[in-house]
Amino acid sequence: MIGKLQCVVLDCADVMELARFYASLLGGEVNRPDPRWSLGDDWATLHGDGDGDGGDGRRSRRVYADPAGHPFCLVRD
């Protein structure tokens, strides 16, 4: 079973730059009002759009670094 991104909380020196980076990479909406999550000036939330598509059955992984220097992996399925 593949999980779907619901919400990610981001925290770094330039949180809006990082939020825009992940929104452009993953889709979704930055700081969407939601009663389950609080909003603040020191962090941002990225809510997934819930869409996903199937792959071709060949899985691969790549490790990258985001603008704040955090490593993250993209998995192609």
pLDDT tens digits, residue range 13-66? Answer: 999 999 999 999 888 899 988 887 788 888 898 888 765 556 667 788 899 999
Confidence (pLDDT) at 51: 56
What's the pTM? 0.75
Confidence (pLDDT) at 30: 94
Distances (CA, A) of 67 to 16, 30, 33, 51, 59: 11, 16, 25, 25, 25
Torsion of CA 9, 48, 24, 39, to 10 degrees: -40
* Other residues' Cβ atoms within 10 Å of the Cβ of residue 8: 14
